Structure 1
Amino acid sequence: MTRVLKLRQENIDEQLTRDRAVRPKILDTDIDGAERVLTMLNHLIDINTATEESFRIAMNAFLRRGRFRWMRDQHVTCAADQIEDLLEKLIELKSPSDVSLATYNLALEAYAVCSTPRGERDYARRAESLVKRMEQVFGILPVESYKHVLHAFAWQQANLEEGECARKACELLKLIEQRTEDGLTLMQCYDWTLEVWSKSGSAGSASEAQGLLDKMKTLNLTLSTEDIENGAHLILDADTYCNAILAWAKNSVSSGAVRANDILLEMIDRFNKGAFPSGSEPSLIAFNGVMAAWGRQGRADMAESILKLMDEVRLKCTNLTPDAISYNSVVHAYLRSDDKELALQKVSEIVKFMEDNCHKQPAIKPNVFTYNTLMKCWIQSDREDVAEQSEATLMRIQRLWDSGDISLQPTNRMFNMVINAYAKGNSRDAARKAVLLLESMKQSELCQPDVISYTSVIECLSKSTDPQSGEKAEELLSEAFQRYQETKDNALRPNARTFAMVILTLARTNGSVVRARELLVQLLELYEETNDPDLRPNQYHYNYVLNCAANTIEETKKLEAFQVATLTYQEMRKSNLVRPDSFTYAFWLKCCNNLIPPGDLRKKCVEYSFEECRKEGLVSKEVLLRLTQGNPPKLVDKLLDFPQSSTANDTKRPAYRRVIKVQDLPKAWSRNIYRK
């Protein structure tokens, strides 16, 4: 009996029904005796002696369970489900009009207590439906009934979702305001409605929450002695301010952080003056919310100042202490700031502080988000050792995970970030290190590579001086395809960028232009089969094939290379998917220069293509470079409209020594490219 008494209403309410962030527990025993009460009620029903009072005793027994769940007939049930069943059974035994209003209100209260945004039980809607039935039976209902429905909608509103529940709560609030002036009732309803707007992701939520907070502050000044004795003043506490802070902190407008910050300072001021009831103190989520809001604005200085303020306030509090989220909000704010060097310095200092002090304050132990942000700070910095430092951070996480720290699980995304850092950098050893990271991923059970991994490694190979890079790139493309076919995981399927990087690697390592062309054809066929936008070829694929052809060195293969280049160039000009750009013409001129012996054929190809380039408005400095360096001065003069009889010294110089700039030519020639 002592065990049962300990789990009566006061404990259940305090431990479970008030903490909405905690998922309800599943009872495995009849620890509070509610099932025994139900058994006795069923016995009374069987012998036809059950009264409404008997039902209400059973309903109250289950209501005291609060948000507990338990199994019944292999299904999870709760107080709202059980009390709903009892109410319907009572109505069957009697009639809707013979059941008292108080009994109906027990069902409404159960809906409110058990209401949650999780699952599909929709207790708020069920409460609303029951109220409509009650109105048909009783006519005008007391405010208490509508309070329960408002409460149900307040707790059913999902975080950052459309505020349908919030709007319903507001409708009920207006009705309640019309029917009562009771201070305690109004304060409670304002508080619930403010809470629902603090969770809503609808436009205007913060303004609605602010309006309710202002109403509560005004009403709090006019409370009667009786209202205060009944506890109305207890409602305007730190939690109320916290809800208003969160509403503004989630607001996407720039003023959201400012308003959240102002309310936080007001809350701290009231707390310091003892205006809150005993036990009510600023909460961690309020500080974290404001820091996150400043972080989204890139105001790392303000986010860090709030963290320091929390350190001051927590000396006067019982439960307030920073956690990893607090510090993560600040490091994320620095990540978004404009000064990337300062961001790296500050984030490195904060992460070190967290590491050095987490033994004393376990809540601030760095987590995956912390290290992930540190890696991003390295990657966006201008340091030369970006990739190496990012890899060092990744290896630190890997070592901690291997040593048994299950909270620091390396992710596929982290490996990809490091590989991509090598791909974007200039390290001569980048390709080798990227390949090693890819091998580590393949051996891992947690961080298997995806198409991003393979593509980034191939990009590293495209910058490598290793003559075997082209072959390695093709092997990785084939491997990715094989893994995709085995797993049918779309995250592994090579895309247009993967093909582009392989063709580019072949072009830069004097690889086979025939193979480059085959890869382009394969990509075109895949796109035609799937119509997947991720497989749609673009100018890069064609241009890289042209460049690969132009880089052909062996004399015996130059004719074949020019044939491939001609086919690719003509196909591109007729394609419905892509159009030639300035690089297309530059690479085509490079092909003419490198693959066709001087003579009429080269002259004819160059003249025709340059005239097309002029018409398209795509004459760029790269096009001019290929034109002037590979062709006789007279041809260059003719194509650029220089007078053949000119005696100017500049026109007498060889074409490769002549300084010709795009901006010196007619604007129409380069109208479709960026003119520098």
Structure 2
Amino acid sequence: MKCSLQMNKSITAITTALILCTLTTQCCCFVSIKDGTNRLAAHYSTLSEEAQTATQPPNFSATATFNHDIARTLFPPLFFTLYHKYSNQNQQDDQEIAIRQHLKRSSPFTDPSSAQTAERMLRRMMENRYRSDGRTVCPDNRTFNLVAGSYGRLRCRNGVTKVPNIGVVWEEEPKLDPQYRMQMNNNNIDATEEMISMTSTDKLQELLQLQLCLCHYEGWPDEIRPSVDIFKRVLRRLAWRSGNIELNSRKQTSDAEQALQWLKFMNTTLPQQFALEGKHATICSPDSTSMSYVIEALASHRVQAYSERKGTSKHHKTLPTVNISITEMANEMDVQLESTSIPQEVPFSALQKAEELLLMQEEMYELHRNDKAKQALAHSYKCLLEGFGRYAVTSGSSQNDAIKRAHELLCRLEALCDAPSSSYASVIFALSISNRPSAAAVAEEVLNRMLSKLNSDQVLNANDVSKAFSGCIAAYVKNHDAKNADKILFEMIKLYESDELGSDFVPEPRAFGTCIAAWSKYDPTSEKSNDRGRRWVSSPRQRLHNADRAESILVELERVARKEAAKNTNKYVLHATPYNIAILARVQTLETISPKTRWSNEGIILHAQSILEHMEFEMGVAADPYTYSTLLNAWTKQSCPGNEKAADYAEELLRRRIEDVDISKIYSDDDPSAKTVDDVWPNVKHYSSVLKAHANCRSPAGARKALSLLSEMEKRFYDAKVISDEDDDADFHVDQKDAAKPDLVCYSIVIDAFAKQKQLSESSSVAFRLLRAMEEKYHAGDMSMKPNNRIYTAVILSLAQSPYTGDDAAELNNAQRAWSLLDEMKANDVQPNSFTYNYIINCCAQEASHDENEQRISFEIAIKAFQELRKMAASSNNNDDDSCSTDAYHPDSFTYAFTLKACTNLLPPSPFRTKVATQVFKESCKKGYCNDEVMKRLRWCVDTDNFHELIGTDARDVRINDMPSSWSRCCLPSKRRR
């Protein structure tokens, strides 16, 4: 047996040396001992059996001296004074070291070089131990603790320490290079672009592997065997990293799987030859805290992937990592350990494994009821509750099951011990996103159980209580129950005013905003009919009541904000969102536009605009783009022929924002290059709303105002400063500036405004000029300004409204110019539709020249357009004649009416005109596109006898309703819009 043990030690020594060599070369910033380990492996390969049997048992009497040398490397001189004083008072345990942290005192080495030096000293001790066949000093638990603690204390200056009681966040570590050294010798280091491929968590795992390999080589003595605290240090880091840092490679073992594997390794039975010598049966018995860390890691498993799937991902730090295989290490030690994997295709499989561990932890708590086990169990419940809540929010499958499990866990936690307030908040948050109608009532019941603890000695966290109230309100809002949401809100305000939770408890602004949103959509009829999906309140009186209620809640929010501002805490910051919802609620009270409601609607919008003024000038809350979009869209909807005042109000509001921007540019020291596209407003949507308001007036003045605003927009963009000049695409690039860039929609609105103006003689000329400006930008590289079908069609329509008066007006008549635009469309790969051809035919019919040759050319173009549209319809669809086409590539009632109009205006009365008109009319009846306009144009085109013969009656006043229904089966009830 003794020979077998000694042979096992020698074989293990060779394996350990190779592991040392492999792990050391993974980290490029540490001084390599690769040469030494290679020599060590070669040395062991040539050892004779007699030399291998001479290995001595470990002697730890001299280890304390080496530990002092390592501590001298890691800590300042003041430490040694404290250490000697401490050691003199504790003569019985001279190996205990009073570790003190003095982050800003000088040290013999600069961190992280001190940690690297300590690690080299540890590795040298192990190398000497292996080379001397166990005759030299052997590192003990304290040696490994000193080195591991040095890496645990490293910080990254650009990192964030979110959870101080869990440990320091070591985000990234620079390579060992003098140019990255800081002048101050402290534990803070700068993160640089060149990073090593190992984090502190991986380094701690590597050191634990070294300790286990040495422990196995020495026969698992208690002086070297890692304690449960050493394992907990690693598990704690893995638990934190599982939910806060995303690893570069998704193929590597996840932190949750790694933590679960370490837990299994702790509970693994030692090899038989060591167990027979009276050693402990297991490597290290895990305690309740160990399981708590593993449950935390499992509950946070793949949180980044869930967030990306739902589209609610927040920024997670991404770090490189190394894959440390625990299974391979166990196999080298003859320890039986099965590999662990978490299948991603199974819903919340990691949470199920965490629940299994939770049951084991509950059994441990029943056997050993103490404060430490109680805290660990509460932490496990909290992490698992948050895991189920996070899964319910970010994952679509098994959402209700996850919420149900979270509620059950809360009940079990309450039965075992006092549940922390964060657990109640997690369950309420999960219930707030449930689609079940009863979820809101359950959330309120959980909230009441939480508040009942105010009467006991248990202390509730103020932030958790505030989040719980907000979640309960959100649950009622999701069910469109504004009354109960309002009730919960005022209970929260009452608790805030009572000051039972102290000054830390402050109602969240989002709770007020959520309640305001509920009132903006509240409809009592939806509750009675169980229609929870309605978004429009039918009753005008109810909409007015909702707007008043929303503003009253806004007043309560401002009262809380003023009270917090009086405390000078600067923690309660108001945003524009609650005001935006209140403005929207007021705008929704607008009546349908009519001469009777015009003045009342104007008063409603002015009232909503007064909320904006109160928000900016009295409360000091900056408006956002949505605030202006809501008001501008309201004015745009009220703009109509005869109500040009609404368009003027819209432009006045827009210019108010423009003036604010100009003033801020003069007096602000902000760098324009630091802005983003989202920071630039008024944006193009604001401008297009005002342009649309002017265009809706259908007046020459409105068209000219729209053109003036577009010209001003172009000038401001031309004079603006560049905020981004990154060329993402070599073929197309336009500089981003701190001003709105006119887009295709802006040009289309202005062209439409002029195309519909018969009173303006320059309508077609302006439309052509804008079209050419767009084409010039497109050919210059701005691909977004390529004219589309709507632009070309609107320009053709302008030719039908007014003659072209440009410099080249004498070259072509309006019909020829319209056909040339059609050729340009085809050349630019823009597909014409029935609207395009209809306006070409109408443009030909509007030919004002009395020259017979000009009329003949115009008529030929009209017939040519009519035939092309028919061919397009025949090629795009092979439906029967009895079927009606719904797309925009078929002749419609406008096509036939405009063709008959062209016959009447361009052909003299003759049998030929009658023949053409007859064929056109019969085809319209056959296709089902005959309406009153077609019959009116037919009456003007043919004589009375032919008209009566075609319609089959000699009645004097005939309408389409008197004709067979098949003639008009495909006609739309109202005019089709582009």
TM-score by length of 1: 0.79
Match runs of 1:40-59 below 5 Å: 40-48=114-122, 51-59=144-152
1:571 to 2:868 alignment: yes
Match runs of 1:22-33 below 5 Å: none
Match runs of 1:287-306 below 5 Å: 287-292=512-517, 294-295=519-520, 297=535, 300-301=546-547, 303-306=550-553
Aligned with 1:426 (options 675, 698, 703): 698
Match runs of 1:101-250 below 5 Å: 101-112=231-242, 114-115=244-245, 126-135=254-263, 137-138=265-266, 142-151=291-300, 158=307, 161=311, 167=348, 170-171=351-352, 174-175=355-356, 177-181=358-362, 184-185=378-379, 188-189=382-383, 192-193=386-387, 196=390, 200=394, 202=396, 212=406, 216=410, 223-224=417-418, 233-234=460-461, 237-241=464-468, 244-245=471-472, 248=475
5+ residue gaps in structure 2? 1-102, 126-142, 163-168, 176-190, 217-224, 268-285, 314-343, 363-373, 422-452, 522-534, 537-542, 669-678, 721-738, 805-813, 877-888
Residue aligning to 2:619: 361
For 2:145 and 2:469, locate their aligned partners in 1 and report how far apart those are by CA, in whole Å: 42
How far apart are residue 81 of structure 1 and its match? 6.6
Helix, strand or coil: the match of 2:241? helix
Instruction: Deviation per CA, 1:311-346: give whole Å up to 9, x if none.
Output: 455577665564322101222344455646777645
Contact 1:187–1:235, Cα closer than 8 Å, also in 2 = no
Contact 2:927–2:970, Cα closer than 8 Å, also in 1 = yes
For 1:286 and 1:194, locate their aligned partners in 2 and report how far apart those are by CA, in whole Å: 23
Residue aligning to 2:795: 502
Residue aligning to 1:648: none
For 2:901 and 2:400, locate their aligned partners in 1 and report how far apart those are by CA, in whole Å: 61
Residue aligning to 2:44: none
Contact 1:503–1:545, Cα closer than 8 Å, also in 2 = yes
Match runs of 1:258-273 below 5 Å: 264=489, 267-268=492-493, 271=496
Contact 2:638–2:646, Cα closer than 8 Å, also in 1 = yes
Aligned with 1:467 (options 742, 761, 784): 761
CA distance 1:221–1:550, change in 2 (3 Å): farther
Aligned with 1:524 (options 826, 832, 847): 826
Match runs of 1:577-596 below 5 Å: 577=876, 578-596=889-907
Contact 1:257–1:293, Cα closer than 8 Å, also in 2 = yes
How far apart are residue 291 of structure 1 and its match? 3.1
CA distance 1:355–1:70, change in 2 (3 Å): farther
Using the TM superposition, name which of 627-636 and 143-152 deviates more: 143-152
Match runs of 1:79-94 below 5 Å: 82-91=199-208, 93-94=210-211
For 1:285 and 1:78, locate their aligned partners in 2 and report how far apart those are by CA, in whole Å: 40
Instruction: Deviation per CA, 1:217-261: give whole Å up to 9, x if none.
Output: 89559744999999785389324415635864895xx54867765
Using the TM superposition, name which of 441-450 and 123-132 deviates more: 123-132
Question: Which one-letter code corresponds to 2:386 in the other structure?
Answer: W
Residue aligning to 1:352: 610
For 1:642 and 1:147, locate their aligned partners in 2 and report how far apart those are by CA, in whole Å: 87
Residue aligning to 2:655: 395
Residue aligning to 1:537: 832
CA distance 1:492–1:209, change in 2 (3 Å): farther
CA distance 1:390–1:567, change in 2 (3 Å): same
CA distance 1:494–1:129, change in 2 (3 Å): farther
Residue aligning to 2:785: 492
Contact 2:816–2:861, Cα closer than 8 Å, also in 1 = yes
For 2:590 and 2:834, locate their aligned partners in 1 and report how far apart those are by CA, in whole Å: 33
How far apart are residue 206 of structure 1 and its match? 8.6
For 1:79 and 1:348, locate their aligned partners in 2 and report how far apart those are by CA, in whole Å: 61
Contact 1:220–1:233, Cα closer than 8 Å, also in 2 = no
Instruction: Deviation per CA, 1:437-465: give whole Å up to 9, x if none.
Output: 12112212312211112111111111232
For 2:792 and 2:752, locate their aligned partners in 1 and report how far apart those are by CA, in whole Å: 10
How far apart are residue 492 of structure 1 and its match? 1.1
Instruction: Deviation per CA, 1:56-106: give whole Å up to 9, x if none.
Output: 343255499515766736756999973234234425634589764212223
Question: Which one-letter code corresponds to 1:131 in the other structure?
Answer: A
Question: Which one-letter code corresponds to 1:397 in the other structure?
Answer: R
How far apart are residue 194 of structure 1 and its match? 6.8
TM-score by length of 2: 0.56
Residue aligning to 2:969: 671
Residue aligning to 1:442: 714
How far apart are residue 361 of structure 1 and its match? 2.7
Higher helix share: 1
For 1:184 and 1:608, locate their aligned partners in 2 and report how far apart those are by CA, in whole Å: 87
Contact 2:470–2:510, Cα closer than 8 Å, also in 1 = no
For 2:707 and 2:914, locate their aligned partners in 1 and report how far apart those are by CA, in whole Å: 45
For 1:513 and 1:217, locate their aligned partners in 2 and report how far apart those are by CA, in whole Å: 81
Instruction: Deviation per CA, 1:601-644: give whole Å up to 9, x if none.
Output: 1100110010000000111122122122333221211111115x
Question: Which one-letter code corresponds to 1:310 in the other structure?
Answer: L
Helix, strand or coil: the match of 1:404? helix
Question: Which one-letter code corresponds to 1:478 in the other structure?
Answer: R
Contact 2:239–2:293, Cα closer than 8 Å, also in 1 = no
CA distance 1:370–1:47, change in 2 (3 Å): same
How far apart are residue 517 of structure 1 and its match? 1.2
- Length, aligned pairs only: 621
Match runs of 1:408-419 below 5 Å: 409-419=681-691
1:374 to 2:637 alignment: no
Instruction: Deviation per CA, 1:380-436: give whole Å up to 9, x if none.
Output: 225612322211111111111111168773212211221122222223212221221
Using the TM superposition, name which of 188-197 and 414-423 deviates more: 188-197
For 1:587 and 1:616, locate their aligned partners in 2 and report how far apart those are by CA, in whole Å: 16
Q: Which has the larger radius of gyration?
A: 2
For 1:337 and 1:177, locate their aligned partners in 2 and report how far apart those are by CA, in whole Å: 54
Contact 2:896–2:920, Cα closer than 8 Å, also in 1 = yes
Using the TM superposition, name which of 120-129 and 140-149 deviates more: 120-129
For 2:468 and 2:304, locate their aligned partners in 1 and report how far apart those are by CA, in whole Å: 17
Residue aligning to 2:510: 285
Contact 1:213–1:244, Cα closer than 8 Å, also in 2 = no
How far apart are residue 349 of structure 1 and its match? 2.7
CA distance 1:395–1:111, change in 2 (3 Å): same
For 2:401 and 2:601, locate their aligned partners in 1 and report how far apart those are by CA, in whole Å: 33
CA distance 1:457–1:158, change in 2 (3 Å): same
Contact 1:56–1:103, Cα closer than 8 Å, also in 2 = no
5+ residue gaps in structure 1? 1-29, 528-534, 644-650, 652-657
CA RMSD of aligned residues (A): 4.3
For 2:399 and 2:481, locate their aligned partners in 1 and report how far apart those are by CA, in whole Å: 11
For 1:669 and 1:221, locate their aligned partners in 2 and report how far apart those are by CA, in whole Å: 78
Contact 1:292–1:329, Cα closer than 8 Å, also in 2 = yes
For 1:124 and 1:420, locate their aligned partners in 2 and report how far apart those are by CA, in whole Å: 55
How far apart are residue 566 of structure 1 and its match? 0.7
For 1:669 and 1:536, locate their aligned partners in 2 and report how far apart those are by CA, in whole Å: 29
For 2:489 and 2:357, locate their aligned partners in 1 and report how far apart those are by CA, in whole Å: 29
Helix, strand or coil: the match of 1:142? helix
